[in-house]
Structure 1
Amino acid sequence: MGVKVSVVVSTCDAGPASNAMDACVRSVLEQSLPADRYEVIFADDGSSDGTRERLDAVAATCENVRVLHLDHSGGPARGRNVALSLVRGDYVYFMNQHDRLEHSALQNMYGMAVRAGADVLVGRLVGEGTPLSAFTGSRERADVIRDRLLALPTAHKLFRVGFLAENQIRFPDRPLAEEAFVTHAYLAAAVISIHAGQICCRVAAPREDPREDPAALVGGLRTILDIVEAYTPPGQRRDRIQAHWFRVLGLRRLGGARFEAMGENRRAALFTRLRDLAAERLPARLDAYLPVHLRARAALLRAGRQEELARLVAASRGTRLYAELQEVHWDQSVLTMDLAVEIVDAGGTPLRFHAENGRLHWRPPVPIEGLLAPEMADVTEAARRARMEVYVRDAESGVVYFLPVTSTVQHARDGDGVRVWAAGQARLDIGSAALGRPLRPGLWEVHVRMRGVHPARTRVARAEAPMNCAGVLADYPRRLVVPCWSGRGELSVCIEPRSFSESIALVSPRASVTHSDDDVYVVMPVPYVPPSGGPAVELVLRQLGGRGRGMTVPALVEPGVPGRVPGQLVAKVPVRRLGGEGCLGPGAWRPGLRTEGKDVDLRFTLEVGLRGHVRVRPADARSTPSLLRRIAARIPGYAALS
């Protein structure tokens, strides 16, 4: 039947024993597509550490593997172009040496590409970076702008080889070669498809070069603008695509850690070259498609006001999205989360806007004369369109699924300004959140993103108000689901905890203690108590430091109301000022739960003062008081004596 797909893997000095490289090789060789229907070409860019020899050994035993021995060029572009001239497949897929294909990736992508007649097929990616809105669902006919495909600029896609040849699409030999290649393919393609149903490739985070040459970088951006102008007529579509690349490859580089690491001379060179490019190729009308804080950067760039731009960037550092969890409750087996999100500065103060004649205008964090014309500072429509997006991310695989959300934009007077925030409700249906299928077991992080005035994203942090951590048995299939806080105090949802004890450990940061005579009662919520009452549970306490003493006490588990009121675990623990066998004494104690002979650590520490008072501390507060502190603790009035 012939070769259907060619996989081109760029390699260079992967290391003599690189586990990531080995995983990549295994992933491309163990595809569900029959070996005679696909080939793998390793394009090695002058490796000198044994990578070539390792790949040659693979090729010697696999008929569908070839290795290209290339002179070192410093990047993957040349190797990919050479491989393109040699591929035998109808489609080609590009990846790097630390990426991994899923077992059925080629079969799934090729099947959909043939059905849709796609020139380009975008398979679901998983990796570091922003959530990918393009994968909210599969589409046989996708649109570059509507489906936000420009946010997927890497070459991890299936390209029809004949289509690339017909349009002479190759990787240019300059910076931003990948972005240029993908932009060219997007705009020349008659059909672009999205395969979102299954993960296709796990992408390793790219290594950034802090020594980027400003002239070469801006030259690469010029190449991309040439492609956009060649394939899109003048009008809104062209303007939006140009504005995207101006924002991502230009304005964003004028701030942040990478910009600061450049050094003064290179920062000035980048500023000057971007200013010249903007004057020649990027008219001011494009700024209307930018978020307002980047409009301000663009205005200062066009005016050549580098020092004021630096002040603006410095004053804006730390601006972020704050997400407040107002309530969590279950609607049968659907977890509902009431949220409010707002942009705040580095100190946590909400951003305020200037209101005049029914319009809202952005106020820069530092006064800069003549920064923006009134119409460019006007964010009234952006605020009206602002919306909240909520998604869950698998902590293990990184896969993301967006949740249905209803939200509204709200305004309120605050001193001499107006605050703007979005409030709404997200619904997590465990049985259908994965594009109509159940979520896999494991820990799922809850993330929030806000679009509109100042796009940003964040995790939902620990709320001040108590959270209902009652679990529920979700239907289809029937599995225990527990809302909980991660070790960093961020909201997560655990599907199918591995044991009864682990379900309690997930919510154990909400533990409390109650004193009674010479005893202390340790109380913890229990997300779900089965009708049988669950297995017998013991509280295990181990002293940190010192002699490392330990003790075990029985615990009583009381049922709650599934999905509404959590159960409760109570353990009575003797406490003595001088310690001793079978009781807590001064110091820090690490608790755990023991069921059926197996121990699970809890996420807090008990700290016992010299007067026998017990406190619950976060899990990282595990150090035993030093000798000097214990001596100081004997002084009247010392705080630790509470």
Structure 2
Amino acid sequence: MGVKVSVVVPVAEPGPDDDAFDACVRSLLEQSLPSDEYEVIFADEGCGEATRERLDAVAAVRPNVRVLHLDDAGGHPGRGRNVGLAVARGDYVYLLGQQDRLERVALEMMHRAATETDADILIGRLVRGDNPPPRVFGRNRERADVLADGLLGLPTAHKLFRRAFLDGRGIRFPDIDAGPAEQAFVVRAYLAAKVIAVLADQVCCHLGPAPEAPPEPRAHVAGLRAVLDAIDECTDPGETRDRLYAHWLRTGVLRPLGGRRLLAARPDQRTALLAALRELAAERLPPSLDRHVPVHLRARARLLRAGDLAGLVALAEAGRGAGVRAELRDVSWDDGVLDLDLAVEMVDGAGRPVTFRADGDRLLWVPPLPGLALPPDLADVTGAVGQARMEVYVRDADNGLIFFLPVSGEVCRSREGDRVRLWAVGRARLDVDTAALGRPLPRGEWEVHVRMYSGVQQARTRVAGQRGSRLSCVGILAGRQRRLAIPCWSERRELSVCVEPRSFADSIRLVSPAATALHREGGVFVVLPVPYVPPSGGPPAELVLRQMAARPRDVSVPALVEPGVPGRFPGQLVARVAVRRLPGEGHLTPGLWTPALRVDGAETDLRFLLEVGRSGRTRVQSAGEPGTLAARPSPLARLAARLPGGPWLLRLGRALHDRYLPAPPTTETPK
């Protein structure tokens, strides 16, 4: 049997400690596809001697690995890929970066899907950091449309291409900067392909980090010209070409002229960027395209065409801090499915609800910058607001894998004078049996995120419980496989759902920020929720408290586990601890204490602190509670600083403050 897939990987010098490159190589060597059915082509684009020797050593013991040493590859970022495509023997070719990695079954699953759909291009599901996946990955698609299915939002070359299709059409990487060359290559392929298929229910590739450095303006514009040239070659003038042009007007021209990217640039960089993009817009991107971009970018377009850099900077400043606010109103189990009752609203930088101006039966967007106005035909967002929606998804805290949840609800409006306020309410349902695109949700801790599209902009944030509200942490044995699932809360009261915690003690750790301390009978009862108490009552446990001091002491006391009501109320773990003012064995003294749970001889750290005051009053401090380990020194702290060992203790306190009190959560700023 011949080679089914060739994987081409251009390699620049990865550095001695590049773990991502190591992971990339391992992922390629450990594919489930038989080794005689795929090949790996490393294109050396100027690696150091050690990396070359390493690649050659791999090729020496792996018959399906080849290394191309391209000593003169400098100056042409796409040459490594082009040479790899030229020598590839597979029916299909996959293009990978040196900091990306494939899932073990990726090549096998993508090749099967491509042959079944007779695809020229097969797009396997991609994952990058905590970014939610494009909606195109909502389901498998045998025939995807470039515009209708949003394929332009996937401009990188991480796809399976039929080799005969690329060769027959002469599709190669142009001699420009790597990023624009990749986009031009993909656009040509998209527009020439007869069949583009999408494999959504299998994660295929984990992308490396996106480039942080902003592009050099002239090189960026040269890349955009190459993309527009590719569109011209593959389309006729008309609506389709205009919409394709408008995509790059939005992503390549207007997006760099706003938000954090613009504000972080130096004045000379801003000036050069505006000049280069304005020149391109005047030549290739007429004002008639502005109606195809979101309304908030139409304001940038007007400022761009006027050459108003000060206006662009002021508009970016006015939008700083805007985002989305999510109110979690209830969390409950319904026949084995977790229900999340949510209300979501877009807010400006001051936390005020974003509103629209009513003009008869139309809604008009009002720019946040005073003095900037759009004509009514460009400011009209009536149709777009009609598509406003709320989306909820879960994200694996370890590997970034994301799945959207089904949401039922509605978009609400209220009118005050000539202003209309918009928000969404709905119920998201998490079924651990089907949440992973119809498959069981893998084991792990899954963060819950919400994203809102208002018709103008979109933003996302973590779902968090309201301060002072009771946080549900009831665990159940969910699904057909009866796997333990637990709603749990971070120190910032952000919601996650843990599927199959590692142990009984770990299930308590997850919800331990909800611990309380009660004074009774001359002692302190530390009470922790227990999400799920097994019929056996759980193993014997001890609460271990360790003093944060120059000479730390441990106090260990037995803990009693009391069952709750399955599916309705959690159980609780109760431990009685004595408190005294003077040091001694077996009791707490004034100061800060870190807790752990000891089960079967192993300790599990809990996620709160216990503070004992000089009067013996004891309170639980959540790691995210405002005021914990306050930075302003108390009289006792000032005294401690003068005592032997006191400065060390204060430094320890500050370190713990940084560890247990991270910065407040932020929302994603709309783009």
Q: Secondary structure at the match of 1:388?
A: strand
**Residue 234 of structure 2 is aligned with which of 228, 231, 236?**
231
Shift of 1:506: 0.8
Q: What do the CA deviations read for 1:327-354 (whole angstroms, capped 9, x no partner)? A: 1111111111111111112332222222
1:495 aligns with 2:499: yes
Which residue does 1:292 correspond to in 2? Answer: 295
Which residue does 1:157 correspond to in 2? Answer: 159
Shift of 1:121: 0.4
Aligned-partner Cα distance in 2 for 1:286–1:569: 63
Shift of 1:488: 4.4
Q: What do the CA deviations read for 1:473-514 (whole angstroms, capped 9, x no partner)? A: 102211110011134432110001111121111111111122
Amino acid at match of 2:111: Y
Aligned-partner Cα distance in 2 for 1:340–1:2: 55
Q: What do the CA deviations read for 1:433-459 (whole angstroms, capped 9, x no partner)? A: 111110111001111112222112221
Which residue does 1:95 correspond to in 2? Answer: 96
Q: What do the CA deviations read for 1:66-101 (whole angstroms, capped 9, x no partner)? A: 212222426641111111111111111111112112
Q: Secondary structure at the match of 2:254?
A: helix
Amino acid at match of 1:516: R
221 and 566 in structure 1: CA distance in 2 versus 1, 3 angstrom threshold:
same
Higher alpha-carbon deviation: 490-499 or 285-294: 285-294
Which residue does 1:356 correspond to in 2? Answer: 359
1:199 aligns with 2:203: yes
Aligned-partner Cα distance in 2 for 1:128–1:243: 27
Shift of 1:186: 1.1
1:242 aligns with 2:249: no
Amino acid at match of 1:506: L
233 and 326 in structure 1: CA distance in 2 versus 1, 3 angstrom threshold:
farther
1:4 aligns with 2:8: no
Aligned-partner Cα distance in 2 for 1:234–1:446: 44
Shift of 1:17: 5.1
Shift of 1:34: 2.1
236 and 328 in structure 1: CA distance in 2 versus 1, 3 angstrom threshold:
farther
1:542 aligns with 2:546: yes
Which residue does 2:648 correspond to in 1? Answer: none
Aligned-partner Cα distance in 2 for 1:510–1:54: 51
1:334 aligns with 2:337: yes
- Kindly report which structure 2 residues correspond to 1:168-207, keeping only aligned pairs within 5 A, or say none: 168-175=170-177, 176-207=180-211
Shift of 1:286: 2.6
377 and 624 in structure 1: CA distance in 2 versus 1, 3 angstrom threshold:
closer
Q: Structure 2: which 5+ residue stretches go unaligned?
A: 641-671
Amino acid at match of 1:182: V
48 and 72 in structure 1: CA distance in 2 versus 1, 3 angstrom threshold:
farther
Aligned-partner Cα distance in 2 for 1:625–1:290: 49
- 8 Å CA contact 1:438–1:476 kept in 2: the answer is no
Which residue does 1:251 correspond to in 2? Answer: 254
Aligned-partner Cα distance in 2 for 1:305–1:62: 58
Aligned-partner Cα distance in 1 for 2:356–2:632: 49
Higher alpha-carbon deviation: 186-195 or 98-107: 98-107
- Kindly report which structure 2 residues correspond to 1:19-418, keeping only aligned pairs within 5 A, or say none: 19-48=19-48, 50-70=50-70, 71-73=72-74, 76-128=77-129, 130-132=131-133, 133-175=135-177, 176-210=180-214, 212-369=215-372, 371-413=373-415, 417-418=419-420
Which residue does 1:424 correspond to in 2? Answer: 426
Amino acid at match of 1:65: V
Aligned-partner Cα distance in 2 for 1:67–1:488: 49
Aligned-partner Cα distance in 1 for 2:209–2:56: 26
Higher alpha-carbon deviation: 65-74 or 546-555: 65-74
Deviation beyond 6 Å, 4+ runs, structure 1:
622-627
- 8 Å CA contact 2:157–2:186 kept in 1: the answer is yes
Q: Structure 1: which 5+ residue stretches go unaligned?
A: 634-642
Q: What do the CA deviations read for 1:170-198 (whole angstroms, capped 9, x no partner)? A: 11111311111111111111001111222
Aligned-partner Cα distance in 1 for 2:159–2:452: 28
Shift of 1:624: 12
Amino acid at match of 1:509: P
Shift of 1:260: 3.8
- 8 Å CA contact 1:590–1:622 kept in 2: the answer is no
Shift of 1:46: 1.1
- 8 Å CA contact 2:610–2:618 kept in 1: the answer is yes
Q: Secondary structure at the match of 2:449?
A: strand
Which residue does 1:456 correspond to in 2? Answer: 459
Which residue does 1:569 correspond to in 2? Answer: 573
Aligned-partner Cα distance in 2 for 1:623–1:389: 37
Shift of 1:517: 4.9
- 8 Å CA contact 2:228–2:245 kept in 1: the answer is yes
Give the length in aligned residue pairs: 631
Aligned-partner Cα distance in 2 for 1:109–1:193: 10
Amino acid at match of 1:389: E
Shift of 1:232: 3.1
**Residue 490 of structure 2 is aligned with which of 486, 489, 493?**
486
Higher alpha-carbon deviation: 250-259 or 533-542: 250-259
Q: What do the CA deviations read for 1:205-257 (whole angstroms, capped 9, x no partner)? A: 133333x2212211211221222233233444333322222111111111234
Aligned-partner Cα distance in 1 for 2:90–2:559: 64
Which residue does 2:476 correspond to in 1? Answer: 472
Aligned-partner Cα distance in 1 for 2:351–2:639: 36
Aligned-partner Cα distance in 1 for 2:18–2:312: 43
Aligned-partner Cα distance in 2 for 1:387–1:66: 49
Identity %: 58
Q: What do the CA deviations read for 1:554-579 (whole angstroms, capped 9, x no partner)? A: 22222222222222222222112234
Amino acid at match of 2:105: S
Aligned-partner Cα distance in 1 for 2:608–2:315: 42
Aligned-partner Cα distance in 2 for 1:170–1:463: 53
Amino acid at match of 1:338: D
Shift of 1:355: 2.4
- 8 Å CA contact 1:389–1:449 kept in 2: the answer is yes
Q: Secondary structure at the match of 2:386?
A: helix
Shift of 1:119: 0.4
Which residue does 1:640 correspond to in 2? Answer: none
- 8 Å CA contact 1:15–1:50 kept in 2: the answer is no
- 8 Å CA contact 1:13–1:49 kept in 2: the answer is no
- 8 Å CA contact 1:588–1:624 kept in 2: the answer is no
Aligned-partner Cα distance in 1 for 2:109–2:75: 33
Question: CA RMSD for the aligned pairs?
Answer: 2.2
- 8 Å CA contact 1:352–1:414 kept in 2: the answer is no
Amino acid at match of 1:629: L
Aligned-partner Cα distance in 2 for 1:37–1:139: 25
- 8 Å CA contact 2:388–2:411 kept in 1: the answer is yes
Which residue does 2:607 correspond to in 1? Answer: 603
Amino acid at match of 1:69: H
Shift of 1:49: 5.3
- 8 Å CA contact 2:77–2:176 kept in 1: the answer is no
Higher alpha-carbon deviation: 479-488 or 224-233: 224-233
TM-score by length of 2: 0.90
Higher alpha-carbon deviation: 17-26 or 380-389: 17-26
Which residue does 2:662 correspond to in 1? Answer: none
Aligned-partner Cα distance in 2 for 1:78–1:548: 61
